[in-house]
Amino acid sequence: MAEGKEVRHFGGRPHILEHGITTDFAILRGYRADRFGNVQFRGGSRNFNDSFAKAARTAIIEVEEILDVGS
């Protein structure tokens, strides 16, 4: 499993280093957003949607409500 991968030792135990998962697009659903692209998630989507959006090059998010900036 570690063939060709970097192995580092932390606390005397070996750990295999893996690259993070990246995707081209993330299609998500949010609660509301402002016109600058700040999105608020609620409920169970707060657990993973922000991580999915960070891992993607482009995040496409459908929201229930679009607010003015600062409101």
Give the residue-averaged pLDDT of 39-53. Answer: 90
Query: Which residues is 58 bridged to in the sheet?
Result: 25
Q: What is the pLDDT of residues 11-45, one digit of tens each?
A: 999 999 998 888 999 999 999 999 998 999 998 88
Output the CA torsion sign for 47, 50, 53, 59.
positive
| pLDDT of 8 above 80 | yes
> Domain limits of the chain?
21-67
Looking at residue 44, what is its pLDDT? 86
Looking at residue 20, what is its pLDDT? 84
